[in-house]
Chain A
Amino acid sequence: DADVTQTPRNRITKTGKRIMLECSQTKGHDRMYWYRQDPGLGLRLIYYSFDVKDINKGEISDGYSVSRQAQAKFSLSLESAIPNQTALYFCATSDLRQTGELFFGEGSRLTVL
């Protein structure tokens, strides 16, 4: 089983719908992240969390919200999806005690029509 699991892996939705992407990890890491990847733009940080009570905005948090339900779970929500949120979304984890190496999930491909 993967250490960092994202669900769903693919989702097609319509403009205005609420979408939740979920991430769970078995690595026991404190830190969790959500990134968005667009062609030619690399990865951009949406939100990150250093523990259950700590949530921080990244570079592009507008239009997104997150919830850290437990150390192992970090979900990303789009309250009202719009077409320019079509992208590949990645969850990642890292260990506070180490150097910041990230461990990524396999990604969730979201298409907003």
Chain B
Amino acid sequence: SQQGEEDPQALSIQEGENATMNCSYKTSINNLQWYRQNSGRGLVHLILIRSNEREKHSGRLRVTLDTSKKSSSLLITASRAADTASYFCATHGSGNTGKLIFGQGTTLQVKP
């Protein structure tokens, strides 16, 4: 079964608004990663947060991690139409198994 569950499954906002996507997972992790997928294309890595970190920023992206709740959130600020894509969280389990397990994804539509 998949490690991550994402919420919401779909999100539609206007350009300029912020978009928040949430991810919950089940077991202990080494790190949690967020990926972006444009329609029908390969996934692209956005940001990684380690299990001992609580917040991380990269440009307009802000990721938080709460290991006590086994949850993470991805915030995209000042969204643009070009941010329209699917976003996936993925967890790298503790113990260096090397496997990355993906959530089901959130589809974001940013309307111009």
Contact = CB atoms under 8 A, between A and B. Distances in A.
Are A and B interaction partners?
yes
Contact of A42 (B42, B45, B105): B105
B48 A106 contact: no
Contacts of A44: 2, 102
A109 B9 CA distance: 23
B75 interface: no
Nearest to B93: A100
A42 B31 contact: no
Interface in A61-113: 88, 90, 92, 94, 96, 99-107, 109
Contacts, number: 68
B98 A102 contact: no
Interface string A1-44: 00010000000000000000000000000010101000011111
A96 B97 CA distance: 11
Interface residues of B, number: 27
A101 B45 contact: yes
A101 B35 CA distance: 10
B106 to A, nearest CB: 10
B41 A42 contact: no
B98 A50 contact: yes
B23 to A, nearest CB: 11
Nearest to A48: B99
Given A40-B104, A44-B2, A48-B99, A90 B43 contact: yes
Given A88-B40, A99-B31, A45 B104 contact: no
13 contacts: A31-B98, A40-B9, A41-B2, A45-B100, A45-B101, A48-B99, A99-B30, A99-B31, A99-B50, A101-B33, A101-B48, A104-B44, A106-B41
